[in-house]
């Protein structure tokens, strides 16, 4: 701690050391991307990803502050993330629409099946509609009609509202007669042998799919993302062929904080395989945009079956819990095994009573999640709690569950889990945000108080003059800040939260502006 402090001072004192704030801070959007058209598609190995993360610990470790953020601590709009609902409240309709810009597959003609996946338990198709748009069609497992498709739809909309790039997914209903096989389409059997798809193949595949009371099949139709797919991104390191990818992924705030969002919707499958890099073109520049994909394995769904009770509670394997179970003959019952799940097949296993956001883990270690710090959690939690009960219920309705009880239960769980996330994250750092300069004074919102989690009470403010070039702060004493020039730093603290502080930086001028926010908590390493 002391060494880090000295290093900081030395760095600040060195000639040529960059100032703490530049004139364009805080940057709300990343600078226009560089051309990345030379990036090539590469496929990762799921097996390797599993064993590598389970047995090794890839990526840089350590409690270093998150990167790829502006001076307010927010990731900038760009290839990874966009500031959405928290910064500009979306209407109910916008939340329900999410990423939808094009629409579901056209009904003007039968859908042409141009690709078939018949491996595993749950099959899938690729179809082209009358307008030649390509969609990936995925189904629910036989055990649980509506479960995976609803989970995908709901989590997709939630992740969109939280700022992530997600594909445009639709719930569609169709009959066998709505499909026809395009000529010469090939499929692989379980052994990788190719053969031409026949109409009978489609019929047989649909035998593995549940039908509704009207005999229709229900599916998620995911519009192919525009651009060239390059394969998944990893949760550590950077792409070596992308000039815009400069921050190791395990240090990106948007990926570290994804832990909290994943915990909320129980996205235990949050690993490389469920992400996708797409080479897109905007304003004549080709660059890589990073997507979250395949959210059908969220909420109570494991895509091809009901979620395991273990989901989110423990890694698939970890030495210590396994040793405890082994030596206690299972008498040490893990907390997650005690959860109660109502019998709602279209929900699967999802609950909020034993859910603990601090204990939640994905199926196997995720380097970005592992590096998360309290301010990363706070950043995501503030977005999650910003979604009201009504907004959450509206998004859950987009899952089109036919069982009203299931819909209500899912929404209730998400609301309760949201509140647990808020309480946990807001307890670790001072939950003050939305800093602004109004009426000649610094204002803020106590998010804990606003959302009913118990506010922090009286906040003490200690103003400092801030030397931006040297990075040094000096107590202003009894003087009132002179807002007309220079930089000022307020240190906010609350008696009820010892050790927790926020440094808020204000740039003086004709219109003083908050340019920096920095949370502190006990034992923070800077």
Does 388 participate in binding other proteins (rule CB under 8 A)?
no
Interface positions, 344-363, toward other proteins (CB under 8 A): 349
Q: Choose the stretch contacting other proteins; rule: CB under 8 A; options: 34-42, 133-141, 406-414, 470-478.
A: 34-42
Does 115 participate in binding other proteins (rule CB under 8 A)?
no
Task: Cite the beta strand spans of 118-240 per DSSP E.
Answer: 124-128, 134-139, 169-174, 179-181, 186-188, 194-196, 217-223, 228-231
Closest CB to other proteins among 47 and 284? 47
> In terms of C-beta density within 10 A (0-12 exposed, 13-18 middle, 19 or more buried), how is residue 125 classed?
buried
Query: Does residue 504 sit in helix, strand or coil?
Result: strand
Gap between the Cα atoms of 94 and 90, Å rounded = 6
Does 269 participate in binding other proteins (rule CB under 8 A)?
no
Query: Does residue 331 sit in helix, strand or coil?
Result: coil
- Long-range contact set of residues 300-303: C-beta below 8 Å, sequence gap at least 24: 300/147, 300/151, 300/266, 300/341, 300/344, 300/347, 300/348, 300/349, 300/350, 300/410, 301/144, 301/147, 301/148, 301/150, 301/151, 301/348, 302/269, 302/348, 303/122, 303/141, 303/148, 303/269
Least distance between other proteins and beta carbon 171 (Å): 28
DSSP class per residue in 98-123: TT-SS-SPP-SSPEEEEEEE--SSS-
Closest CB to other proteins among 91 and 328? 328
Binding residue for other proteins, selected from 46, 131, 460, 474, defined by CB under 8 A: 46
Closest CB to other proteins among 46 and 474? 46
Least distance between other proteins and beta carbon 173 (Å): 24
Gap between the Cα atoms of 380 and 69, Å rounded = 13
Does 9 participate in binding other proteins (rule CB under 8 A)?
no
Least distance between other proteins and beta carbon 383 (Å): 23
Binding residue for other proteins, selected from 27, 224, 470, 491, defined by CB under 8 A: 27
Query: Does residue 442 sit in helix, strand or coil?
Result: strand
Interface positions, 317-346, toward other proteins (CB under 8 A): 317-318, 321-322, 325-326, 329-330, 333-334, 337-339, 341
Interface positions, 53-92, toward other proteins (CB under 8 A): 70-71
> In terms of C-beta density within 10 A (0-12 exposed, 13-18 middle, 19 or more buried), how is residue 417 classed?
buried
Query: Does residue 138 sit in helix, strand or coil?
Result: strand
Binding residue for other proteins, selected from 92, 171, 178, 238, defined by CB under 8 A: 238
Does 400 participate in binding other proteins (rule CB under 8 A)?
no
Does 244 participate in binding other proteins (rule CB under 8 A)?
yes
Does 22 participate in binding other proteins (rule CB under 8 A)?
yes
Gap between the Cα atoms of 342 and 99, Å rounded = 31
Does 523 participate in binding other proteins (rule CB under 8 A)?
no
Does 132 participate in binding other proteins (rule CB under 8 A)?
no
The H or E element spanning position 151 is helix 147-161
Pairing of strands 179-181, 111-117: parallel
Does 191 participate in binding other proteins (rule CB under 8 A)?
yes
Does 16 participate in binding other proteins (rule CB under 8 A)?
yes
Does 190 participate in binding other proteins (rule CB under 8 A)?
yes
Binding residue for other proteins, selected from 60, 131, 204, 390, defined by CB under 8 A: 204
Cβ proximity of 496 and 475 under 8 Å:
no
Does 108 participate in binding other proteins (rule CB under 8 A)?
no
The residue count for binding other proteins (CB under 8 A) is 60
Does 12 participate in binding other proteins (rule CB under 8 A)?
no
What track of x and - describes contact with other proteins for positions 280 through 309 (by CB under 8 A)? ----------------------------xx
Residues contacting residue 295 through CB under 8 Å, at least 6 positions apart? 151, 152, 155, 156, 159, 166, 265, 267, 274
Closest CB to other proteins among 315 and 521? 315
Gap between the Cα atoms of 435 and 438, Å rounded = 9
- CA 471: distance to chain centroid? 33
Q: Write out the residues near other proteins by the rule CB under 8 A.
A: 15-16, 18, 22-25, 27, 30-31, 34, 38-40, 42-48, 51-52, 70-71, 189-192, 200, 204, 238-246, 308-310, 314, 316-318, 321-322, 325-326, 329-330, 333-334, 337-339, 341, 349
């Amino acid at each position: 701690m002391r060494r880090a402090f000295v290093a900081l001072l030395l760095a600040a004192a060195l000639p040529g050391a960059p100032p703490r704030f530049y004139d364009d801070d805080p940057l709300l959007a990343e600078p226009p991307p560089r051309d990345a058209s030379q990036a090539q598609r590469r496929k990762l190995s799921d097996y390797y990803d599993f064993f590598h993360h389970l047995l090794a610990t890839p990526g840089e470790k350590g409690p270093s502050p998150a990167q790829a953020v502006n001076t307010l601590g927010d990731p900038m709009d760009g290839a990874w993330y966009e500031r959405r609902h928290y910064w500009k409240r979306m209407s109910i309709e916008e939340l329900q629409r999410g990423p939808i810009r094009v629409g579901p597959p056209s009904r003007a003609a039968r859908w042409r099946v141009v690709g078939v996946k018949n491996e595993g338990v749950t099959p899938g198709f690729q179809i082209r509609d009358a307008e030649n748009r390509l969609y990936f069609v995925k189904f629910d497992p036989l055990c649980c009609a509506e479960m995976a498709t609803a989970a995908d739809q709901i989590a997709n909309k939630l992740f969109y509202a939280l700022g992530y790039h997600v594909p445009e997914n639709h719930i569609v209903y169709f009959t066998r007669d709505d499909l026809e096989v395009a000529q010469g389409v090939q499929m692989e059997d379980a052994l990788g042998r190719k053969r031409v798809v026949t109409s009978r193949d489609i019929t047989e595949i649909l035998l593995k799919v549940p039908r509704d009371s009207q005999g229709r099949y229900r599916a998620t139709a995911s519009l192919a993302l525009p651009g060239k797919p390059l394969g998944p991104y990893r949760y550590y390191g950077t792409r070596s062929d992308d000039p815009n990818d400069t921050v190791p992924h395990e240090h990106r705030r948007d990926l570290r904080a994804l832990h909290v969002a994943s915990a909320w919707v129980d996205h235990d499958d949050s690993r490389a395989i469920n992400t996708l890099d797409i080479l897109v073109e905007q304003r004549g520049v080709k660059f890589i945009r990073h997507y979250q994909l395949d959210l059908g394995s969220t909420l109570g769904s494991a895509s091809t079956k009901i979620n395991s009770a273990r989901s989110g509670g423990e890694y698939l394997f970890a030495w210590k819990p396994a040793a405890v179970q082994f030596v206690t003959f299972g008498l040490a019952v893990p907390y997650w095994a005690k959860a109660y799940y109502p019998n709602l097949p279209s929900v699967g296993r999802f609950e909020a009573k034993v859910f603990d956001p601090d204990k939640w883990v994905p199926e196997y270690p995720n380097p970005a999640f592992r590096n998360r710090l309290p301010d990363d959690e706070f950043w995501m939690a503030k977005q999650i709690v910003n979604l009201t009960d009504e907004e959450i219920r509206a998004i859950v309705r987009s899952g089109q569950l036919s069982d009203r009880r299931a819909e209500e239960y899912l929404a209730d769980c998400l609301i309760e889990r949201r509140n647990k996330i808020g309480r946990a994250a807001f307890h670790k750092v001072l939950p003050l945000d939305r800093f602004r300069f109004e009426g000649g004074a610094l204002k803020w919102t106590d998010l804990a108080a606003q959302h009913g989690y118990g506010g922090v009470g009286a906040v003490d403010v200690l103003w400092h003059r801030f030397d931006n070039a040297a990075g040094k702060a000096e107590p202003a004493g009894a003087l009132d800040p002179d807002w007309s020039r220079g930089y000022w730093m307020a240190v906010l603290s609350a008696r009820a939260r010892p050790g927790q502080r926020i440094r808020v930086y204000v740039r003086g001028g004709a219109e003083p502006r908050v340019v920096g926010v920095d949370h502190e908590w006990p034992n923070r390493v800077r």
